[in-house]
Amino acid sequence: MSSSTQEPSPSSPSPRPYLVTVGEVLGVLSAPEPGPLGLGSALRLGIAGAESNVAVGVSRLGGAVTWIGRVSEDDLGEVILRELRAEGVTTLAVRDPAPTSLLLKERRTATHSRVTYYRTGTAGGRLSPRDIPEDVIAGAAVLHVTGITPALGDGPAEAVRRAVDIAADAGVTVSLDINFRSLLWSEEEATAVLLPLLARSDLVFAGPHEARLVTGGQDALGLAKGICALGPRDAVIKLGAEGALALLDGQQYRQPAIPVRVEDSVGAGDAFVAGYLAELIAGEPPERRLKTAALLGAFAVSTTGDWEGLPRRAELALLDHHDDVVR
Ligand code: KDG
């Protein structure tokens, strides 16, 4: 877009093995108190996005991360970039005259959140394949994408496809979290767009319902096998309070969830992925990746906000007093 400008990177991507991700960051207006919204309800401003949640989670564990996306030229765009950079994430952002998307998060009851998107004609939805720098993708250890960005429109879908193609051609590990959002597209649309991306991915994260968008299977193991039959070497089925089942290079792993009191479950899946990917780029073995993934999921659900409560590495021990991986 002619009115957009690629701003210079504040720092070039790290010489260390780094994760790169592509997506949208939204402004989040969340009601701190449970109950219906009314005139005068307090709303707290935050930011979130599936891919940026992962970026922050990886960065807090000491991993090098680059986030690519579009943000508005206004103050909200500024807040987003400032916050990500403060979290140690390298940002490669196109500033766009369109506004930032908003997400309204009501706590309808103490345990049930309701989300409404204001996401039409916004900066993140104007992402284009031209915004994807080939060298940054090809130089990464891992590219992480989700099924949310391709749901935002043709441009974002093309941009994600381009990133995945560059990575796959360069031998960069491609990680895909299916992250189906029924408010953004239908199951049929999602399946048609995600299947080709999945076929070029090495590692796929999905909940059972999400896995069934792309394959059949009775149970978690059947779903993981179904995903791997489509091309990926590794599949991780996220099972919420029941932990996760992973099929990694043909070997099966089960990771129990870490029991904690649930404050706010939104963001738990992203946190899980962040824990896994942080250990992957650190060269850690599967058991460690899954354990850290479960720990980050536990931190996410036991604190409010998608990413604000995620731990630094030294804090992992706070919740780490349960059994290791059961194989
Ligand atoms: O996983 C949490 C995300 O859903 C949230 O941060 C916002 O990216 C988001 C989305 O599109 O729902």
* pLDDT tens, position by position, 142-160: 999 999 999 999 999 999 9
pLDDT digits (tens, 9 = 90+) for 223-269: 999 999 999 999 999 999 999 999 999 999 999 999 998 887 889 99
Atom index in ligand 1 nearest the CA of residue 307 equals 6
| CB 48 near ligand 1, within 6 Å | yes
Ligand 1 centre from 14 Cα, in Å?
A: 26
pLDDT digits (tens, 9 = 90+) for 78-115: 999 999 999 999 999 999 999 999 999 998 887 788 88
**b/e 116-136 (16+ beta carbons within 10 angstroms → b):** eeebeebbbbbbbbebbbeeb
| CB 267 near ligand 1, within 6 Å | yes
Contacts with 292 (C-beta within 8 Å, 6 or more apart), sequence order = 61, 275, 276, 278, 279, 284, 316
| CB 53 near ligand 1, within 6 Å | yes
Which of 118, 181, 264, 265 should be mutated for ligand 1, with most atoms under 8 A from CB?
A: 181
User: CA 68 → CA 144, 166, 251, distances in Å?
Assistant: 11, 14, 33
| CB 248 near ligand 1, within 6 Å | no
Tell me, what's the pLDDT at 5?
A: 44
pLDDT digits (tens, 9 = 90+) for 117-131: 999 999 999 999 999
Which residue's CA is minimally distant from atom 4 of ligand 1? 50
Poorest-confidence range of 19-28, 29-38, 53-62, 162-171? 29-38
Q: Is residue 21 part of a domain?
A: yes
| CB 269 near ligand 1, within 6 Å | yes
Nearest Cα residue to 30 out of 83, 106, 116 = 106
Q: Is residue 315 part of a domain?
A: no
8 Å CB contact between 20 and 52: no
Helices (H), the chain: 50-60, 75-86, 134-138, 154-170, 187-199, 208-214, 220-229, 268-281, 286-301
Which of 21, 265, 306 should be mutated for ligand 1, with most atoms under 8 A from CB?
A: 306
Q: Is residue 170 part of a domain?
A: yes
Ligand 1 centre from 48 Cα, in Å?
A: 6
pLDDT at 8 > cutoff 50 = no
| CB 297 near ligand 1, within 6 Å | no
| CB 50 near ligand 1, within 6 Å | yes
Q: Is residue 45 part of a domain?
A: no
Which residue's CA is minimally distant from atom 9 of ligand 1? 49
Ligand 1 centre from 221 Cα, in Å?
A: 26
Q: Is residue 19 part of a domain?
A: yes
**b/e 295-323 (16+ beta carbons within 10 angstroms → b):** bbbbbbbbbbbbbebbbeeeebeebeeee
| CB 270 near ligand 1, within 6 Å | yes
Domain residues for the domain of 180 are 9-25+50-98+124-310
* Catalytic-labelled residue, pool 131, 165, 264, 270: 270
User: Has 270 been annotated as catalytic?
Assistant: yes
Nearest Cα residue to 159 out of 188, 186, 136 = 136
Instruction: Read off the CATH number of the domain in which 154 is found.
Output: 3.40.1190.20
Nearest Cα residue to 50 out of 250, 205, 261, 229 = 205
| CB 266 near ligand 1, within 6 Å | yes
Q: What is the pTM of this model?
A: 0.93
pLDDT digits (tens, 9 = 90+) for 169-180: 999 999 999 999
Question: How many structural domains does the chain have?
Answer: 1
Q: Is residue 182 part of a domain?
A: yes
Atom index in ligand 1 nearest the CA of residue 179 equals 1
What backbone torsions phi and psi does residue 172 show, to the nearest 5 degrees?
-80, 135
16 band by pLDDT with thresholds 50, 70 and 90? confident
Q: Is residue 255 part of a domain?
A: yes
Q: Is residue 192 part of a domain?
A: yes
Contacts with 263 (C-beta within 8 Å, 6 or more apart), sequence order = 301, 302, 303, 304
Q: What is the C-alpha separation between 300 and 268, in angstroms, rounded? A: 5
